[in-house]
Amino acid sequence: MSADPTPLRVAVLATPLARRALAAGLAEHGLDVVADGELSDPDARRRAAHADVVVLSAGDLPDPAAVPALADHVGAAALVVGDTDADQLERAMRAGAAGFVDWERPLAQIAEAARTVARGETVVPPGMLGGLLQRLIERRRSADQALARLATLTARERQVLALLCDGHDVPAIARELVITPQTARSHLSHVLSRLEVHSRLEAVALVRDHDLRASLDAMEVTA
Amino acid sequence: MSAKERMSAQEPTSAQEPMSAEPPQRAAEVEAHLGDGVHVLRRPDDGSEHLVNETALALWQLCDGATTPEEMIEGVVELFGEDRERIAADVATALHQLREAGLLHVGEAAVQRRDAPDPDAQDDEVDR
């Protein structure tokens, strides 16, 4: 194999076993492995920021709701290696991965997928694009329905819900809005009723699962 | 006869009618044979086989009679993050080609075509 004058720089952030196999295989196929380590290790992530592409294991991915965007989290375009599994694929792409490849693919194809991602293109396993799009479309429909329910809240109720989502309890909500705890409880009761949910936890989940926390603030401004 | 026609979501077509907002429905009897990057959609009624790329296959799979073209466009934009106008044009082109190939049931004409396949129409399709 002729040496690439400017080999693609990759970082491999995965568990030790997966890391060793991927790093050795990718180097063998002409990529420059500039860093490796655990995704949870801040030092490893900092070293990975110098790479063009970060290769991750699907099993190590953080919760998309807890991390704004995977590419921001790791500092480079992310290529996720995982099983041929619709849940794993959706989770990776929603987390902000630029590509997903099957573990069972030859390392040459994983290396090629890294090059494709580095060019700014998206990589989805053969035959899985339709299912992934279907999931994204259903998620968007569900988010639209949730947003419609949020729109039925008054401005005050949206403030209460936003504070609830930020982790405030009733006394803290009351203090923040300069109202009595009794009034805060009353607002919360209306929020649950209008959102058609049965608990505060469910109300928070409705907002969080559909990434609507920012929408609550935006609605507040335009209300 | 195994007439194969290659179609992709990126190839432009001429004289294309405006895209319908109605949710397209894939023809239930069409068989999908998945390959590695290129797939085959086969019509058992006339034996024709159509090679489709990843995007065209995905769009055909999305034609469930409930998903609108607009939703398809939004999904593709969300995933690929590319120019919306170009994606909308690509989706319209792909749906048009799938419909022309008899792989979708859209409206009365498509139903008639499925019920009474016209051999001449098949020849036109292959020659295109």
* Domains of chain B (ranges, CATH numbers): 4-9+22-127 (3.90.930.60)
> Given a cut of 50, is residue A122 above it in pLDDT?
yes
**Sequence-ordered strand ranges (E) for chain B:** 4-7, 25-26, 31-33, 38-42, 49-53, 104-105
Average pLDDT over residues A13-27: 90
Structure tokens at A52: 């063009």
8 Å CB contact between B124 and B5: no
Structure tokens at A189: 């009761």
With H, G, I as helix, E, B as strand and everything else as coil, classify residue A1: coil
Residue of A46, A27, A28 lying closest to A37 (CA atoms):
A46
> Given a cut of 60, is residue B127 above it in pLDDT?
no
> Given a cut of 90, is residue A71 above it in pLDDT?
no
Query: What phi and psi values does residue A79 have, to the nearest 5 degrees?
Result: -115, 120
- Residue A136 touches partner B, C-beta closer than 8 Å: yes
CATH class (in words) of the domain with range A9-126: alpha beta
Q: How many CB atoms lie within 10 A of CB B14?
A: 4
Percent of chain B with pLDDT over 70: 67
Q: What is the CATH topology of the domain spanning A137-222?
A: Arc Repressor Mutant, subunit A (1.10.10)
Confidence of residue A171 (pLDDT cuts 50, 70, 90): very high
Q: How far is B118 from chain A (nearest CA, A)?
A: 30
Average pLDDT over residues A34-40: 87
Confidence of residue B51 (pLDDT cuts 50, 70, 90): very high
Percent of chain A with pLDDT over 90: 60
Q: How many CB atoms lie within 10 A of CB A76?
A: 25
Residues facing A57 on adjacent strands:
A81
pLDDT at B90: 92
Any idea which of A74-88, A92-106, B3-17 has the lowest mean pLDDT?
A: B3-17
Task: Tell me the pLDDT tens digit for each residue of B104-123.
Answer: 985 544 444 344 444 344 43
- How far apart, in whole angstroms, are the C-alpha atoms of residue A123 and residue A103? 14
How would DSSP label each residue in A55-117? EEEGGGPPPTTTSS-HHHHHTSEEEEEE-S-HHHHHHHHHTT-SEEEETTS-HHHHHHHHHHH
Q: How far is A53 from chain B (nearest CA, A)?
A: 17
- How far apart, in whole angstroms, are the C-alpha atoms of residue B52 and residue B58? 9
> Given a cut of 50, is residue B126 above it in pLDDT?
no
Across chain B, mean pLDDT equals: 77
8 Å CB contact between A152 and A194: yes
**Helix H or strand E encompassing B96:** helix B84-100
pLDDT at A61: 74
- Is the CB of A137 less than 8 angstroms away from the CB of B75? yes
pLDDT at B17: 59
pLDDT at A219: 79
- Is the CB of B78 less than 8 angstroms away from the CB of A122? no
- Is the CB of B75 less than 8 angstroms away from the CB of A141? no
- Is the CB of A137 less than 8 angstroms away from the CB of B58? no
Enumerate the domain spans of chain A: 9-126, 137-222
Partners of A124 on chain B (C-beta within 8 Å) are 54, 79
- Residue B55 touches partner A, C-beta closer than 8 Å: yes
Question: Which stretches of chain A are DSSP H helices?
Answer: 16-28, 42-48, 70-74, 86-94, 107-118, 129-150, 155-165, 170-177, 181-195, 200-209, 213-222
User: Which range among A88-92, A173-177, A213-217, B34-38 has the greatest average pLDDT?
Assistant: A173-177
Interface test with B, best of A129, A142, A210 (most B CBs within 10 A): A129
pLDDT at B118: 43
pLDDT at B124: 38
Task: Tell me the pLDDT tens digit for each residue of B54-88.
Answer: 999 999 999 999 999 999 999 999 998 878 999 99
CA dist list (Å): A142 to A206, A211, B22, B95: 10, 11, 20, 25
pLDDT at A193: 95
- Is the CB of B62 less than 8 angstroms away from the CB of A129? no
Cα nearest neighbour of B71 on chain A = A137
pLDDT at A209: 87
Collect all residues with Cβ–Cβ distance below 8 Å to A112 and sequence separation of at least 6.
none
Cα nearest neighbour of A97 on chain B = B79
Confidence of residue A164 (pLDDT cuts 50, 70, 90): very high
- Quick one: CA dihedral B7, B9, B13, B17, positive or negative? positive
Minimal Cβ distance to A136: which of B36, B54, B78: B78
